[in-house]
Amino acid sequence: MLTPQEINVWYVLPALRRELTLVLKKRKIKQKDIAKILGITEPAVSQYLKNKRAKALDFPKDVKKAIGTAADNLTKDKSCHRFEIQNLLDLIRTSGFLCKVHRKNDDVPECCNVCMGDKKCVST
């Protein structure tokens, strides 16, 4: 059984970085600058752009819109990537998308609400 934190690390965070990379590249930011902004390596940026890494997740429209806003913020203040990533992770959790990713990638009981912060099993 995977924890929500493992789902974030293995699936969601790489997909967020990929989406941010794609949006920043569309805004004419150089690959080396994208790497610095996101705190990742230049080869990782290259793999995201070539669709070789983290291509399994397709975020819902509200998350994609938030990713665009985060990219705008990152182009203005390159030091805020941790804040922007955390905001996006919070949105993904509270929107229920994390639960969907968790159920897709693990055997999760139907009544599980751990991703939403619940500490007990409640039937849905």
pLDDT in tens, 80-92: 889 999 999 999 9
Question: Any long-range contacts for 108-111 (C-beta under 8 Å, 24+ apart)?
Answer: 108/1
Element at 42 (helix H, strand E): helix 42-49
What ranges do the domains of the chain cover? 4-116
The token duo for 57 is 């997740």
Residue 38: closest CA among 60, 55, 15: 15
- Cα dist. 32→28, 40, 47, 76, 107 in Å? 12, 10, 13, 17, 39
Residues 54 and 17 sit within 8 Å (Cβ to Cβ): yes
**118 band by pLDDT with thresholds 50, 70 and 90:** low
Q: What length is written for the chain?
A: 124
What pTM did the predictor assign? 0.88
Summarize pLDDT for 3-20 with one digit per residue, the tens: 889 999 999 999 999 999
- Cα dist. 42→21, 45, 46, 77 in Å? 11, 5, 6, 20
Residues 56 and 13 sit within 8 Å (Cβ to Cβ): no
Higher pLDDT, residue 118 or 44: 44
Q: Is the pLDDT of residue 112 over 50?
A: yes
